Amino acid sequence: MSSLDNNAQYPVGEHPNWEPPVSNVGVIGWMKHNLFSSRLNTILTLLAIYLLYTVIPPVVQWAILDADWVGSSKADCTGEGACWVYINVWWKQIMYGRYPDAELWRVQTAYVLGLVGLIPLMIPNFPKKKWISAYLLLLFPFMAYVLFSGDNLGLKLVETPLWGGLFLTLVIAITGIVASLPLGILLALGRRSNMPVIKTLCILFIEFWRGVPLITVLFMASVMFPLFLPQGVNFDQLLRALIGVALFAAAYMAEVVRGGLQAIPKGQYEAAQALGLSYWKTTIFIIMPQALKLVIPGIVNVFIALFKDTTLVSIIGLFDFLGMIQLVNTNPDWLSFAIEGYVFAAVIFWFFCFGMSRYSQHLEKKLHTGH
Amino acid sequence: MKTENSQHDTDDVIIEIMGMHKWYGPFHVLKDINLTVRKGERIVICGPSGSGKSTMIRCINRLEEHQKGQIIVEGTELTSDLKNIERIRREVGMVFQHFNLFPHLSVLDNLTLAPIWVRKMPKKEAIDKAMYYLERVKIPEQAKKYPGQLSGGQQQRVAIARSLCMSPKVMLFDEPTSALDPEMIKEVLDVMVELAEEGMTMLCVTHEMGFAKTVADCVVFMDGGQIIERNDPETFFNHPQHERTKLFLSQVLQH
Ligand SMILES: Nc1ncnc2c1ncn2[C@@H]1O[C@H](COP(=O)(O)OP(=O)(O)O)[C@@H](O)[C@H]1O
Ligand SMILES: [Mg+2]
C-alpha cells in the first residue's frame, strides 16, 4: 500500500504531506543522529562514556556508599568515606553564624515570608504577580530587616557581627541583586544621556568601580572609609560591605544593560516618540522591557558572579557561608575534614547558581514573542 | 514651481512649512521647503531615493530637527520646546516603512499603550477603540497575537491602526508599502484609500503611482532636497513641467 503510494504520480501541486523517514525519529534515530553520526563523534562518545565510568563510581562510593551520616562527634566517622557528621554537628554555625539560638526563629520566619512570595512567582500563570513582586521588593525587605536586627516591636537587638553563615551570604547576595539592577539601569541610561554632565558622571562612576577589584572595594569600605567619618559616628561594618558590593555589581550591570539598549533599533524610539510618548514613558514601556529581555543571560551572569563574590567578605571579618566553614575547619577537633566542608559549600553554591541559571532560561523562553 | 493655492483660507491650514532648511552636519539636505497642507488634503510626495522625502516629513513631527525656517502644525510652531513637540506628536500620526511595531507587546497593547498613557484614556475605552480600528483594518482576530506572528501586510495595517487610535488630525506615511511583498501591497493601500475617502488629512511618501492618481489632491515632486514641482495629479502625470519630473516619471511608470 505505502510503496504503491510512494511511487504514485500525484497531479501537479497535489502532493500530500508525508511522515518523515523512520531513521530520523525515535531513540535509535536520535542516537544515530547525535552520538554516532561520524567516526569522530563515535570516538568522542565512547571517550565520554569511559570518562564517566572512571569518575562517577569512586565519587558515589566516597560521598554516599562509604559515607558516615549520623553521629555527634568525630569518633562516629569510621574513616573510609565522607564524614557528613561534620556538617550535622556544625549545621547551625554554617547556616546562621553566631545568631543567638533563641532568636533563630526570626531568620526562619523571614525565609518563609520570602518563599511565600518567591514560589508563586515561579509558577506560570499565577494570578496577581504584580502584587506579589511589589510585596517581595517593597514590603519583604523591610520585614526581613526588622526581623533580622530587631530592637523593635519587642524583638531583641541582634548585632550584625553575630550574623553569619549561609544566612549572611543570602543577605549580602539578595541585597546586592535587588539594589544593583535598578542602579545599573539608571547608570546605563545616564551613560547614554544627551546631557554631558550626567553622562560624564555615569562614565566616571562605572569606570571607577569596574577598574577596582572587589577585594580593594571591601578593604576600602572597612578600613579607609571610617577614617573619613567624624569621630563617634559609627557605620555598621555589614552595611559598608553591602554598599560596596551593590555599587560594584551596579557598575557591571550598567554595562550589561547598555549592551541591551544599544541593540534596540532606532525605529522603536521613533515609533514611540511619534505617538507622543515622553522620554520616560518610552524608556519604561518600550525600550527597557526589550533591552532587559535581550540581556537576561548577562544580567543573570552578574547575579551569579555577585553571589559567589560574596565569599570575599570573609577577608573583612564577616563570616559568610564559606567563611564559617573555613572557621570550623580550624577547630582542633575537626582538622581533617576540610574536604567535606568545601564539597558541601560547592554543592550549595552550585544549587543556588544553577537555580538562577535555569530560571533565566525559563524567563527567556516565556518572554520570547516570536521575532 | 507653482504658486500657492489662491483661495487662502488660513483657518483650514493644518501644516505650514515656510522657508525650511535642514543640514546633516555640513550636508544641506533640505533647501527652502515651502508647503501648506489644508484640512482634508491628500498630498503624495515622490522623488528619487535620497532626495529628502523622509527627512522632510520627519521634520513635521520633529523626529528630525530643522535649522532654519518655520514649521507650524495646528497653530503651534515647532521649536525645541518639549511640551510643544509632544503636543504636536499627539495630533500627528506616522506610519513607517518598516512598521516599527513594539515586538514585546501584543497587537492590542500596541494599540492601547499611547491612548492610555498619553491621552489618559480609561483602559476599557482604549480597548474598545483599538478593536474598532482593528475591525477597520480587517484584522480584529489578531488582537491577542504578537507582531512577530503577523505577515508584513498585517503588521503595517496594525501600525496604521495604532496611529489612528490616537485620533490624529494628520497622518504621515513614509513609504508604507516599500517593504512589503507584492501581494500584500494592495491590502495596505486599500486601507489607505478608505482613510483618504473619509477625509483624513494625509501626507504620503510613496512610489505607488496608482494610489497617487486615485486619491491625491496634489503631488509633490522632490529632488536634491528641494520641491521641484507641485501639481494636481492629472497635470502632474500628463503634463509634467520640469525636465527632472519627466525623467523621474519615465523611470517609475515604465513598468
Ligand atoms: N541621519 C542622517 N545623517 C546623515 N545623512 C542622512 C541621515 N539621514 C539621511 N541622510 C541623507 O540625507 C539624504 C536624504 O535622505 P532621505 O530623506 O532618507 O531621502 P529619501 O527618503 O528621499 O530617500 C540622503 O542623501 C541621505 O543619505
Ligand atoms: Mg525615505
Query: Which pLDDT score, from 0 to 100, does residue B5 have?
Result: 45
Virtual CA dihedral for B135, B137, B142, B145, nearest 10 degrees?
Answer: -130
Kindly list the domain boundaries of chain A, sorted by start residue.
22-65, 85-99+158-367
Give, using CA atoms, the residue closest to atom 10 of ligand 1. B24
User: How many angstroms does the Cα of residue B205 sit away from the middle of ligand 2?
Assistant: 8
Partner residues linked to B70 by β-bridges: B18
> Cell 523626529 maps to which residue?
B63
Task: Identify the CA nearest to B228 among candidates B241, B216, B209, B210.
Answer: B241
pTM for this predicted structure: 0.86
CB-based burial label for A40 (10 Å; 0-12, 13-18, 19+) = exposed
pLDDT tens for the 371 residues of chain A, in order: 444 555 567 888 888 888 877 666 678 778 888 888 888 989 999 999 999 999 999 888 888 888 778 877 777 777 778 888 888 888 888 888 888 888 888 889 999 999 998 888 888 788 888 899 899 888 998 888 888 888 777 788 888 888 888 999 999 999 999 999 999 999 999 999 999 999 999 999 999 999 999 999 888 888 877 777 777 666 788 888 898 899 999 999 999 999 999 999 999 999 999 999 999 999 999 999 999 999 999 999 999 999 999 999 888 888 888 988 888 888 887 777 788 889 999 999 999 999 999 988 888 888 887 65
What is the helix, strand, coil percentage profile of chain A, to 5?
75, 0, 20
Which residues of A fall within a CB distance of 8 Å from B87?
276
Whether the CB of A288 is below 8 Å from some CB of chain B: the reply is: no
Query: Which pLDDT score, from 0 to 100, does residue A8 have?
Result: 64
Whether the CB of A236 is below 8 Å from some CB of chain B: the reply is: no
Task: Identify the CA nearest to B22 among candidates B220, B224, B225.
Answer: B225
| Shortest-distance ligand to the CA of residue B50 | 1
Residues of chain B falling short of pLDDT 50: 1-8
Helices (H), A61-164: 85-96, 104-122, 129-134, 140-149
Name the residue of B29, B45, B96 whose CB sits within 8 Å of the most ligand 1 atoms, as the mutation to test its pocket: B29
Distances (CA, A) of B109 to A288, B9, B76: 16, 40, 30
Provide the ipTM.
0.92
Question: Per the CB < 8 Å rule, is A286 touching B102?
Answer: yes
Distances (CA, A) of A176 to A31, B17, B165: 44, 54, 42
Give, using CA atoms, the residue closest to atom 20 of ligand 1. B50
| Residue B171, phi then psi, degrees to nearest 5 | -120, 130
Task: Identify the CA nearest to A318 among candidates A141, A91, A87, A98.
Answer: A98
Amino acid present at B36: T
| Shortest-distance ligand to the CA of residue B178 | 2
Question: Per the CB < 8 Å rule, is B93 touching A274?
Answer: yes
Domain at A85-99+158-367, CATH homologous superfamily = MetI-like (1.10.3720.10)
Question: Per the CB < 8 Å rule, is A267 touching B163?
Answer: no
Interface residue ranges in chain B relative to chain A, Cβ cutoff 8 Å: 61, 63, 82, 86-87, 89-90, 92-94, 96, 98, 100-104, 113-114, 117-118, 146-149, 159, 162-163, 166
Task: Identify the CA nearest to B174 among candidates B1, B55, B4.
Answer: B55
Virtual CA dihedral for B204, B209, B213, B215, nearest 10 degrees?
Answer: -30
CA distance B237 to chain A (A): 32
Give, using CA atoms, the residue closest to atom 9 of ligand 1. B55
